[in-house]
A and B are shown apart, each in its own frame.
Chain A
Amino acid sequence: MNFYKIIEEIEKIDPEFQDRINPRRAAIKNITSFGSKVAVAAMPFALGTLFKKAYGATTSAGVIAVLNFALTLEYLESSFYDAGVGTSGLVPAGDATYIGAIKTDEDNHVTFLQGAITASGGTPVAKSSLTFDFTGGNGKGNGPFADVFSNYQTFLAVAETFEDTGVRAYKGQAANLAGNAVLTYALDIHAVEARHAAAIRYLRANTYHVVINPWITSTVANSNDTGISLVDANYAGATPENNTTVGGINLLTLPSIESSSSTSVSVATAAFDEPLTQAEVLALLEGSFIVN
């Protein structure tokens, strides 16, 4: 499975990479130093004249690794929507434009990231080296979402989880791109994934009467608001979606319309989306959706 090859490649440059992604190591909690020990390949970062003109920066191997992580996730989503849209009778005609818009975006994200990595002197992970199982069955096709391409509601549920998880994954990488020109592009993709996530939730709620908000509305007991307990881990992590302390400030003590001294858990958790680390994302995907 190519994902391990990605790790091998990165380890040639950064022997401590495995430690960085090992969730049992405290190092993972502060991944801001991710790129600092990576041998910098002084590659000109030239994705168009825009980059040269604005920044003239070099792209480190660490940044390229982040882009390849993002590309892997985009391959997952792009392949998912390509398969779904390509399955005759799955997506109702009335939703074709809506779902098609998301598919187009994910396909474009793949193209964009491949180009960005290549322009930066890196090698994009090859799509052909990845195998996906959208039932979540690690290649057996009989995972917990067995009817993902025969039951449209299951397809939408998986889409919703992929989008929410993609948002969290990009968010978790921002610090690794701090100060780099690539950060803007990562933030721009991240925003579109959030548009997608809200759009899927809106569709499920307003057309298919699922009780779900466009924003992740957690409780103290449960970060996962999807009603699908199978995906609890996608809403958990070191900074779970029901986190209510941001920048050292307890959101629940801040004024709201209802109270001059408090804010509800539902508002506080919905108003701030939380990151997932790379290790957390991979643990959610490999061995289930990404076949290993």
Chain B
Amino acid sequence: MARRSFLRYAGAGVAGIGLISAASSCSKHNNVVPSSGAIDVGSGDPGILNYAYALEQLEAAFYTQVMASPYSGISITETAYLTDIRDHEVLHREFFKAALGSGAIQALTPDFSKIDFSSRASVLGAAKAFEDLGVTAYDGVGYLIVNTTYLGIAGSIVSVEARHASVIANLLGVSFVGSDQVDSNSLNISNKPSVVLAAANTYLKTKISAKSFS
């Protein structure tokens, strides 16, 4: 659906008009619940933004819990960095929520039972997983985005997620460009939605699907 001029976002500063909800003539609903019980992100550009919204919800919830009950021995520097990261992820989440408006998927319920929030290793390990995953997720769908404004937004966010990933790696004492994330050409790896969501869903009670994307 090539509709580059379709969404006149310039006037979307008006309260209540979401970036995507203005595109009401799109016939696909974004929050249909398939029989499997999973929430599907939908299709096209709105689907990709909902996909990003889902991941940002997960990250925001994680870091909010981290800072609500910081792990034993957290340093002043770590507190500052993780607080910043939390605030960035919360903003990313709120941005997508505002942008999607009535086209947004619902609020998701996370499942952090596998994470020991009292353990630095467990928390930072999970943080690294989330940040690395987020980078691969944005990089993996960029070429699918039709509206270049949304592409720009994704670009503005993914480099910040990569900065987060780099810092978490440093806190863990591992390479900020480790071979698990950066390939032999020194390109960051990217993942398609099905791969990303398989990982993300292990931390979500409400499962997410992205059926219109591979």
A positions within 8 Å CB-CB of B: 32, 101-102, 104-106, 108-109, 111-112, 167, 171, 174-175, 178-181, 183-185, 187-199, 202, 206, 213-215, 245-251, 254-257, 263-264, 267-268, 270-275
User: Bound state CA distance, A189 and B159, in angstroms?
Assistant: 10
19 contacts between A and B (CB under 8 A): A104-B186, A105-B177, A106-B186, A112-B187, A171-B159, A174-B152, A178-B143, A178-B151, A187-B158, A190-B158, A192-B186, A195-B188, A214-B167, A254-B91, A263-B94, A271-B160, A272-B157, A273-B156, A273-B160
* Known pairs A194-B162, A198-B167; A248 contacts B13 (CB<8 A): yes
A-B pairs with beta carbons under 8 A, tally = 201
* Majority SS at the chain A contact face: helix
User: Bound state CA distance, A271 and B152, in angstroms?
Assistant: 14
In the complex the two chains form, is A263's CB within 8 Å of B91's CB? yes
Shortest Cβ gap from A219 to chain B (Å): 15
* Known pairs A175-B151, A187-B142, A206-B77; A272 contacts B160 (CB<8 A): yes
How many of B's residues come within 8 Å of A, CB to CB?
60
In the complex the two chains form, is A108's CB within 8 Å of B185's CB? yes
Q: Produce 1/0 per residue, B18-47, CB < 8 A to A.
A: 010000000000000000000000000000
- A178-B146, A184-B142, A245-B13 known; 12 other A-B pairs, CB under 8 Å? A179-B143, A184-B143, A187-B155, A187-B190, A206-B77, A247-B12, A248-B19, A249-B12, A257-B67, A264-B87, A267-B88, A273-B160
- Say whether B166 faces chain A, with CB atoms less than 8 Å apart: yes
Q: Which of B10, B145, B182, B184 contacts A192 (CB 8 A)?
A: B182
In the complex the two chains form, is B185's CB within 8 Å of A250's CB? no
Among residues of A, the one whose C-beta sits closest to the C-beta of B63 is A257
In the complex the two chains form, is A246's CB within 8 Å of B153's CB? yes
In the complex the two chains form, is A256's CB within 8 Å of B12's CB? no
In the complex the two chains form, is B185's CB within 8 Å of A275's CB? no
Shortest Cβ gap from A285 to chain B (Å): 19
User: Bound state CA distance, A102 and B176, in angstroms?
Assistant: 10
Kindly list chain B residues whose C-beta atoms are within 8 Å of the C-beta of A167.
159
Shortest Cβ gap from A102 to chain B (Å): 8
In the complex the two chains form, is A191's CB within 8 Å of B13's CB? no
Kindly list chain B residues whose C-beta atoms are within 8 Å of the C-beta of A247.
9, 12, 19, 95, 99, 149-150, 153
In the complex the two chains form, is A270's CB within 8 Å of B88's CB? yes
* Known pairs A189-B187, A195-B176, A249-B99; A181 contacts B158 (CB<8 A): no
Kindly list chain B residues whose C-beta atoms are within 8 Å of the C-beta of A202.
166-167, 170, 176
Among residues of B, the one whose C-beta sits closest to the C-beta of A102 is B177
Shortest Cβ gap from A175 to chain B (Å): 4
In the complex the two chains form, is A180's CB within 8 Å of B98's CB? no
Q: Which of A102, A181, A215, A275 contacts B88 (CB 8 A)?
A: A215
